[in-house]
Amino acid sequence: MLLCSDLVQLEWADDRGVFRRTAAILEEINPSGALLLLDMDEVPRRSHPVLLSPGGYAGRARQCLVSGGGVRIEIAFDPGFRWSVEEYRPRHSFDPQTLVHSA
């Protein structure tokens, strides 16, 4: 898992089949999913397939939480789509496993 800050594109089609695309802030990414922050009213429902670029990661919204800073969306990548740092490294990223605790 990486904690990060990068601007990405989120794409989906709504219930009427209208194509939607918005910029989102990528806050966290791991092999099976990502956490995004959006500043918009209409967000993908769990039933809507989504595409996260760069990388072209297909998935679905697992959870949406409205907060004062916008909407946080947890994306679960579809089987066959797994993120790796070798494929895509967010511009600003931090691996919390690199912290060393001294005794």
pLDDT tens digits along 6-58: 999 999 998 888 999 999 999 999 999 999 999 877 788 887 899 999 889 99
pLDDT at 101: 56
CA–CA dist 36, 75 (Å, integer): 8
Global confidence as pTM:
0.82
Domains of the chain: 2-83 (2.40.10.220)
* Contacts of 26-31 spanning 24+ positions with Cβ under 8 A: 26/90, 27/3, 27/72, 28/1, 28/2, 28/3, 28/4, 29/1, 29/2, 29/4, 29/83, 29/88, 29/90, 30/1, 30/2, 30/83, 31/77, 31/82, 31/83, 31/84
pLDDT at 102: 47
